Chain A
Amino acid sequence: MEPILRAKNISKVFPGVKALTDVSIDFYPGEVHALVGENGAGKSTLIKILSGVYTPSEGTVEYEGKEVDFVNPRQAIDAGIAVIHQELSIAKDLTVAENVWLGREKCKSMGLLEKARMNKDTQEILDFMKVNLSATTEAGLLNAAQQQMIEIAKVISQNAKVVIMDEPTSSLSEHEIDALFEQVRILREKNVAIIYITHRMKELTEICQRVTVLRDGCKVDTMMVADVDEKQIVNSMVGREMGDYYNKHKHTQGEEMLRVENLTRKGVFEDISFTAYAGEILGFSGLVGAGRTEVMEAIFGATKIDSGKIFLRGEEVTLDTPAKAIANNLGLVTEDRRRTGLLLAKNIVENTSLPSLPAHASKLGFVNVPWEKKVTQEYMDKLRVKAPNMYTILNTLSGGNQQKVILGKWMAADSNILILDEPTRGIDVNARSEFYALMHDFVTAGGAIIMISSEMPEIIGVADRVLVMREGRISGELKEGEINEQALISLASITSDSVAS
C-alpha cells in the first residue's frame, strides 16, 4: 500500500530552539496513526508543518506521491488535509450547517446563499454519520461532544483524505469517547488516513493501528500497535540524556509553610492536599490540563474554591482575593508572562513595585517613589536583570529578563512562598540555568517554592519532591531518589488501569 502523506527528513528550527530533527513518517489511508510523546516532544510542530501552518526548515512533505509546499492552512485544507484542533473552532451563534460550510458557503449567482442545499447536504452527512443531530440547530446549544461531531461533519464535507485529530478525547466523557471512536471508524472505512495525537495509552490499543513515538523533536520509532504493549510505548517515550545545567542542589526541608487540605473546585480539581516546606522546591508534574495551574490560582485567591482549607505556617487562612495572598507573603509567577504576568507597556519600576505599592504608600496614598526606585535597583542588581535602566519598557526585554522582573516583583513584595507556573517556558538555556540558581538562592534563604513544570527533565533536575496530578487529582508523590521519567510518566498518563479504577 502506498502512503498518502509522507514527512521526509523534516527539521524545524525556531530562534534558539530546534523543535524537530530529521523526522520521517509515512501515513497510510484507512489507518489510524497515533503520535505520542511528552509535552515539547514536537508533536504540535509536526502537525503544524503537515497542515501548512509552518514550513519546514529542512525536509519535504509528500502528498499523494507529489511533493507539496503549503504556504497556509487553506491550501492544505483545499488539498484534503484537515485538522480538528483540541480547542474546537465552532461559531456558537451559527447553525450546525452554517458551521460545516463556514468559509466555503455554497452560493447562487449574485452571492445569495443556497441555504436549503447546505442544510440538506449537512443533514445527509449527519445521517451518514448516524448521529442524531439536526442541521439547523444552533451550535451553541450543543455539548462538547456534539460540537466535535460538527467538526467531523465538516471534515467529511471537505472530502478530506487526511484528518489530523489533536487530543480529541480530552474534553469528552467515557461514553462520548465511544461515539467519537465510532466516527473514527467510519472515517477509516472511507479510506481516510487519520493522524491521532493523544496522551491516553489505552486509546492506542482501542482504535490505532500504528504509533509513532517522538522525543525531544526526534522520531524514536514507529510501531504496529498490535505488536507492542503500553509499557513498551511508555518506555520508548523516556530515557533521554539529562543536561547538567540544572546543577541540582540538595536542600534541607525546613518548617511547614503552606498546607492545603482537600481543596476542591467541582469539575476542575478535587481533593487536593499537600504541604510545602521552607527550604524546598516542590515540583508539580503532570500533563497540560491536569489542573495544576487551576489549583495554584485558587490557592492564590484568583479563583474561588468550593471546599477545602489552606494553612499558612500552621494557621488556617482564607485567601479569597490575590490581595490577601500577597499580604500573606505569597507570590504567583504565572505561566503566561505576556498575558497575566507583566504590564508590557510599562517600565521595570512600575512592574516591580505594583503589588507592594499600598504597603509602602504614605498616609495620603502617595506612591513612595524613593522606596520603589531603591527596591527596583536592588533586585535588578541581585537578579542581574539586563536592561539599560530601570525605566526600560518591559516589551523590549528578553523573555529571561522579563521573568527576572516578575521574580523581583514578588521578592520586593517580601514573598516567602513562591508559586512558579512553567517558569522557564520560552527562555533560552543560559537564562534558564541562571533562573534555577536564583530559585536555589531563594529556598536557601528560607523561602518555599512550588514549581509547576510540564518538562520532565526540569522536574527531575530541579525539584526536591514532586507531586503528580492527573485529571484534577493528585495521583502520587515522589520523594528524593524516586523522581525519574518512568515514575513521572506512569503517574501522569491516563492508562487503562487509571481509567478503569
Chain B
Amino acid sequence: MDKAKVKKLIGDNIVVVVLILLCIGFGLASNTFFSSRNVSNIMSQMCQNALLASGLTYVIILGGIDISVGSIAGVAGVIAAFAGLQFPNMSVAGSILLLIGVGVGVGFVCGAINGGLIAYLDVIPMICTLSTLTALRGVAFILTGGQPVYGLPDNFAFLGAKRIIPTPGMPNGAVPVVVIFTVIVVAFMHILLSRTVFGRHVFAVGSNRNVAHLCGINVRKVTFISHVLCGITAGLCGITIASKLQNGQPNAGNTYEMFAIASTVLGGTSLAGGSGSVARAMFGCAVIAVIKTGMDLLQIYSYWQNVVIGCIIILAVVLDMAQKKRQSA
C-alpha cells in the first residue's frame, strides 16, 4: 500500500483511530479501564445513545436534524411505565413485548408528527423538532404530574437492567440484555440503510433533492419515513431507560439529543447531508461513551464533561466542513 492509500484509509476511519487512541490513553491513565466490569459498563451506557444515533443517522443524511429524540424517549418511557402498571404479574416475554410495542407505537406517532410537518408542510427540521422537543417534554410532565411513575414489577426491568450469560468473574451475567437488543435494532437500521433501495433513496435525497425527484424518487415519502424511523428508535431508547430504572421519569432522555448528534457526526455522517453510516455512528457512540466513563474513572468533575463533549462536537463539525471544502475544491 502506498502512502496516499494509507492516508485515505485513516482519513475515512478517523473515528476508529480516535477510539483506539482514547482507549490506550485511558487504559494507561486508569488501571481499571480495561476491567471486564468497566467494558460491560461502557457497552450498556452506549446503548441508549446508539439507539438514538441509529435513527438520527437517517435524518442527518437527508440534510435534516431531529433534536426532539430525547423528548420522544421521555414520553415513550412514561407511557411504557403506565402500561407496565396495568400488568403487575407480567412475564419476561410479556414485558419485552409490552416495552417494544409502546416504544415503536409512541415513536411512530411522534416521528410521524415530525415527518409530516417536515416532509409535507416544509417546516424547517431544526425549528420543527425544537418545537416538538419542548411540546413532548411538556406532555411527559403532564402525563406524570411531574412525579416519577413507581411500583413496576421486577420483570419490567429485564430488558433494560438484566444481564445474561454468567462468567466466573461476573456471576450475575456478563452480557446486558439491552446490549443484545440494541445490536439487533442497530443491525436492522444499518442493513436497511446500506443494502436496500430505500436506503439508497435516503442517500440520493440527501445528496441532491432535485436529482432524486427527477430520478423518480418520492422525496417527501422518503423524508417522512426517515423521520418515522428516527422517532421509533427514539421510542425504543425511551423504553430501555424506563426498563433500566424500573420507573417512568418525565425527565428521562433530557439532553440526550446532543450526545446522539455528536456520535452521528463523529461517525462521519455529514451535517450537510448525502453521506453517512449507521455502523460508523456506533464508533462515534463508543468514543462518547469511552470519554464519559474515562472521565468518570479519572474523577473529572461532571460539569467539565459537558464542556469536553461540546468541544468534541465542534471539532467534529469543523473537520467535516473542512473535508467538504477539500472535496469541492
Contact = CB atoms under 8 A, between A and B. Distances in A.
A354 B204 contact: yes
Interface in B184-235: 195-201, 203-204, 207-208, 210-218
A345 B200 contact: no
Main SS of the interface on chain B? helix
Contact of A365 (B198, B203, B275): B198
Given A346-B203, A365-B196, A322 B211 contact: no
Interface residues of A, number: 30
Given A322-B213, A334-B214, A366-B196, A343 B204 contact: yes
A155 to B, nearest CB: 35
A350 interface: yes
B275 A350 contact: no
Contact of B214 (A340, A344, A357, A365): A340
A321 interface: yes
B248 interface: no
A74 B215 CA distance: 41
Contacts of A300: 214
Contact of A343 (B195, B211, B213): B211
A350 B214 contact: no
Contacts of A358: 197, 216
A323 B217 contact: yes
Contacts of B208: 339-340, 342-344
B225 to A, nearest CB: 12
A102 interface: no
Given A321-B216, A343-B204, A357 B197 contact: yes
Interface string A309-337: 00000000000011101110000101000
B115 interface: no
Given A350-B200, A366-B195, A345 B218 contact: no
B216 A366 contact: no
A341 interface: yes
A409 B211 CA distance: 12
Contacts of A395: 327-328
Contacts of B125: none
A133 interface: no
B176 interface: no
B274 interface: yes
Interface of B: 195-201, 203-204, 207-208, 210-218, 274-275, 327-328
18 contacts: A322-B214, A322-B215, A326-B215, A332-B214, A334-B214, A339-B210, A340-B211, A344-B208, A345-B274, A346-B204, A346-B274, A350-B203, A354-B215, A357-B200, A358-B197, A367-B200, A395-B327, A395-B328
The 9 closest A-B pairs by CB, nearest first: A323-B216, A343-B207, A355-B215, A326-B216, A340-B210, A361-B197, A357-B197, A365-B196, A354-B215
